[in-house]
Chain A
Amino acid sequence: MILGPEFRDKLRKFRKNRRAYASLRILSLLFLLTLPAELVFNDRPIVMRLDGHWFFPVFRDYTYRDLGGANESPVTSYRSGIFTDFVAGRDPAGCSEALSGGPAPAGAAADEVSGGRGARRFRALWPPIPHSYKSFYTSQRLIRQRLASPLPSTVDGMAVPGATVERHWLGTDRYGKDVLARLVYGFRLSLLFGLALAITSTVIGCVLGALQGFFGGLIDLLGQRLTEIWGAIPHLLLLMILSDFLSRKGDSTGFQHLLMLFVIMNLTSWMGMAAHMRAQFLAARNLDYVKAARALGVSNVRIMFRHILPNSLTPIVTFLPFSISSSILALVGLDFLGFGLKYPAPSLGELLSQGQQYLDAWWIMVPTFLTLTMLMILLTFVGDGVRNAFDPRYK
């Protein structure tokens, strides 16, 4: 990477800005902490040892046959009575899975049980919080499984224990899923999504802006017209329409859906970057060093990406934090309106809409609000610091 001393100087200036630098460090720390969320918030053991074999349920889906049973059906829950029975040898084939919709033949259970065996040797290392963003675990201790408050309360004179007895530290949402787990997974997903979207839209914006600015003339004129057309359309509405139309076919998986959202959001997010890069390239193409490179016979692509681009890093760097925050907000907004990710996917916007729907469920609303505003404010502080350091106009 060609980073001149000037760039390093600007970095030093950024680091001196205590507010911005501290925000960046907090953000990075939170990001690193939430990255291994599967190992902390999960309803599956991280590692388990069954009859002398090692299994890693966090990373792989097993069927009962893999675990030494007779049944082909997958292990859907490691905390259910079915699995406990299987481990205890009461139902060695794991056939009771058929009760929960598994494909086991009806007569098989009796045969297998008659040929059954004793308890298996079982040891497991569980994550500290036994809930993932999508796990639903019915507990006898919680009277109310859905929308359970973390604090104990009394309803009609009867004491209701807080959801913390089942290690739901922030209670449960309307589907009985753990709010804290959804927040953590959602935070990670939002940040990853925002980062990825910011990077791809920066790349797209750079390429389109560079082409317009460098070649000018007809390409520039056409590009400007197209940009104006695309920019004049209200983006949130357009995203909602596209998301609505494209997700109508109900057969896409959660990941495909996420990818689809990513692609359509790329359609609208490159515009600001492109405008800046166009201006930069327009100005740069008449500068002496570009003229000199051209006189030496350097190819256009090489001039653009080896000569001009490194000198136009300022808008890229200053845009990035704001680009991340607006990408995250767009996703949250779409989720909030119900045009975003599909339900089991962990999403801050979906939690927010639950908070609005269930006004009594403060344990959903308050943490979500705090997470979102904290994320946005930290990003704003970082962005402000970057802009102060990199943009000579802001002193």
Chain B
Amino acid sequence: MWSYLLKRFLLMIPTGIGVITVFFLVSEFVPGGPLDQVETMIIDQANQAGVGDLATLGAGGGSGVIAIDPRMRMQIKRQLGLNHDPLARYLRMLLWYGPDSMISSREVDDGFARKLSFQGRSLWVYRQQDTYHVYENECRSAGTSSQLRFDSETAMLVSTADEALRFEPETGRQAGGGSLALVRLPVKVRSESFWETEYLASGERRRVRETRDEVYLAEGRWAALASGRNWHGMFLFKFPVSITKNKASLELIRERLPISMRLGIASFFITYISCILLGISKAVRNGTVFDSVTSVLVLVGYGIPGFVLAVFLIQAFGPSGDSWISLIPLRGIHSPPEIYNTLGAWGKFWDNVHHMIAPVTCLTIQSFAGLTMLTKNSVLEQFHQLYAVAARARGLSRRKVLFKHVLRNSLIPLVTGFPARFVMMFFAGSLLIEKIFSLDGLGLLSFTALVERDYPLIISNLFIFTFIGLACRLLSDIGYVIVDPRISFESRKG
């Protein structure tokens, strides 16, 4: 069994590669591509705001050329990883080690210096035509240490503590023959050319080729390798940073997780408990009116789509003026904080429950049919097994046979799906239902990411959900083995 599980686990690797490849292809070859998506969004926003500071009117202002500020573009490109060529982009998505750390996307004007912060360090970058000089933002002299500023009139780096301490930015040495020097960092420069898009008033796009330098900090190879910060790729669960929220995708998911979990756990227990109870009582009363009525009810429930019911519930029982009775709240996981915080412990609990009734109903309504019928059929099947018949023949009551013998065996097919469902319930973000009830869970996160065209966040979400899906499949196989050791996967090939 263990070898089988190991094999399954290893097979997840090619599957993961395949999934990332699919994402890459989708994002790469779909018309427009990610950068265009983001640009369209920015242009839309600029148009709505009457050309704000996001996009600036180009040189031919009269002809209505809208161009995105190149610095902003570069920042977006960097965030999307589009400054690399496609192969590198693909590898960066998968698994990649880059020995160089890029200092900044922002351009430094010729003959000027710019202060940058880089991984917690403060640096000065000075540019002289095609050469860049990078120094630590620290000036040590005679046991004291001070920071630097750039004096643009004399083009010198000056200590903030002592005006007399001036450094030549080309060499880093003290001006006027002093012996002090700044800490210089080794730098690599790479020129990159890329296509800049201009938006014409006619709606056309014109592409202009531009070239710009990128500055990298040339660190020691081993130092960078060990620090771990230059590793990229989803295989290491390093996800790109969300554009709109400016936070790591994993962190965003962790923030949303509790709400999805709450929904998931509630619907999990409600479904299992009520399905098992209903299934058993249906099996015991097989063929009676109760059986057929509940069969129809369960089937009707299966037919009602959860999100359609959700909209109906909100209108019929929500707080609007025309609803029949106001029973359920409109939105959110609990009341607004100004009310919620005044409640006592019980009040809070009831408030939460009150807000969860409708979403959980909608989440569970379609899942009753399958599990109930599974339980019923399984119990009936076990009743016809020889051991159950024998127990009845020995004079045991039907009830005793049911609870002592049949039940344990008949729950096997239910329990096999248990581990996978258990994991899934933590991530039971139903996009539609979370959107309808404005529950800020995982589903809604993906939805808003898509609406706001937050491309890195979408891709990370997709990968995380896919990974969880794969893990669940593995878990459900483990579930089979644990519950029923007779199952051997080695012989179950084909």
A234 touches B465 (CB 8 A): yes
Main SS at interface, chain A: helix
In the complex, are the beta carbons of A356 and B311 less than 8 A apart? yes
Tell me if B314 is interfacial: C-beta within 8 Å of chain A. yes
Interchain CB contact (< 8 A) of B469 among A19, A234, A325, A365: A234
Name which residue of chain B comes closest to A373, CB basis.
Answer: B304
Contact of B22 among A233, A339, A373 (CB under 8 A): A233
- Contact code string B399-412 (vs A, CB < 8 Å = 1, else 0): 00000000000000
| Residue contact A245 to B22, C-beta cutoff 8 Å | no
Q: Specify the main secondary structure of chain B where it touches its partner.
A: helix
Any B CB within 8 A of the CB of A362: yes
Q: How far is the CA of A229 from the CA of B12 in the complex (A)?
A: 9
Q: Assuming A229-B19, A233-B22, A360-B321, is B299 touching A380 (CB within 8 A)?
A: yes
- Contact of A238 with B by CB under 8 A: yes
> Judging by beta carbons under 8 Å apart, are A226 and B431 in contact?
no
Q: How far is the CA of A329 from the CA of B432 in the complex (A)?
A: 12
With the chains together, A378 CA to B300 CA distance in Å? Answer: 9
CB B162 to nearest CB in A, in angstroms, measures 57
Among candidates A238, A282, A380, residue contacting B462 with C-beta atoms closer than 8 Å: A238
Give the CA-CA distance A121 to B233 in the complex, in Å: 76
In whole angstroms, how far apart are the Cα atoms of A325 and B36 in the complex? 36
Q: Which of B25-33, B129-137, B207-215 contacts A (4 or more CB under 8 A)?
A: B25-33
Is A319 engaged at the interface, CB distance under 8 Å to the other chain?
Answer: no
- For the complex, is B446 an interface residue (Cβ under 8 Å from A)? yes
Chain A residues near B294 (CB, 8 Å)? Answer: none
1/0 contact string of A348-377 vs chain B (CB within 8 Å): 000011011001101001100100110011
B307 CB-CB contact with A under 8 Å: yes
Give the chain A neighbours of B321 by CB distance below 8 A: 359-360
- Say yes or no: is A230 at the interface (Cβ < 8 Å to chain B): yes
- Report the minimum CB–CB distance from A241 to chain B (whole Å): 6
B274 within 8 Å of A (CB atoms)? no
Q: Which residue of A lies closest to B313 (CB)?
A: A369
**Inter-chain contact B315/A245, CB cutoff 8 Å:** no
Are B31 and A352 in contact (CB-based, < 8 A)? no
B494 at the interface (CB under 8 A from A): yes
Inter-subunit contact A365/B311 (CB<8 Å): yes
A248 with B311: in contact, given A225-B15, A236-B431, A360-B322 (CB under 8 Å)?
no
* Inter-chain contacts of A18 with B (CB < 8 A): none
**A362–B315 touching, CB < 8 Å:** yes
The distance in angstroms between the C-alpha atoms of A380 and B369, with both chains bound, is 11
Of chain A, the residue at the smallest CB distance from B494 is A282
Given contacts A230-B22, A241-B458, contact A372 B308 (CB under 8 A): yes
- Judge whether A373 and B30 touch: CB under 8 Å: no
Chain A: minimal CB distance from B262 (Å): 20
- A97 at interface by CB-CB < 8 Å: no
User: Within the assembled complex, what's the spacing in Å between the Cα atoms of A352 and B19?
Assistant: 33
Interface string of A323-350 (1 = CB under 8 A from B): 0010001001100110100000000000
B461 lies within 8 A of chain A by Cβ = yes
Contact bitstring B288-332, A, C-beta under 8 A = 1, else 0 = 000000001001101111011101101100101111000000000
Q: Does the CB pair B37–A333 fall under 8 Å?
A: no
Size class of B's contact patch? 35 or more
**A residues 215-262 in Cβ contact with B at 8 Å:** 216, 225-226, 228-230, 232-234, 236-238, 240-242, 244-246, 248-249
B303 touches A381 (CB 8 A): yes
Tell me if A43 is interfacial: C-beta within 8 Å of chain B: no
Residue contact B315 to A249, C-beta cutoff 8 Å: no
Closest Cβ–Cβ distance, residue B304 to chain A (whole Å)? 5
Contacts of B19 in A (CB 8 A): 229, 232-233
Measured in the bound complex, the distance between the Cα atoms of B303 and A372 in whole Å is: 10
Bound-state Cα–Cα, A325 to B305, Å:
10
A377 to B300 alpha-carbon distance, docked (Å) = 6
Give the distance to chain A from B82, nearest Cβ to Cβ, in Å. 16
Q: Could you show 21 A-B contacts with beta carbons less than 8 Å apart?
A: A225-B18, A228-B15, A232-B470, A233-B19, A233-B22, A234-B466, A237-B465, A238-B26, A240-B447, A241-B462, A249-B32, A282-B494, A333-B432, A355-B315, A356-B311, A356-B436, A365-B312, A365-B315, A366-B312, A373-B308, A380-B302
Q: Which residues of B contact A (CB under 8 A)?
A: 11, 14-15, 18-19, 22, 26, 30-32, 36-37, 40, 296, 299-300, 302-305, 307-309, 311-312, 314-315, 318, 320-323, 431-432, 435-436, 446-447, 450, 453, 458, 461-462, 465-466, 469-470, 473, 494
**Beyond known contacts A234-B462, A352-B311: 12 more, CB 8 A cutoff:** A229-B19, A230-B22, A237-B431, A242-B30, A248-B32, A333-B307, A356-B436, A359-B321, A359-B322, A369-B308, A369-B312, A380-B300
A residues touching B (Cβ–Cβ < 8 Å)? Answer: 19, 216, 225-226, 228-230, 232-234, 236-238, 240-242, 244-246, 248-249, 282, 325, 329, 332-333, 336-337, 339, 352-353, 355-356, 359-360, 362, 365-366, 369, 372-373, 376-381, 384
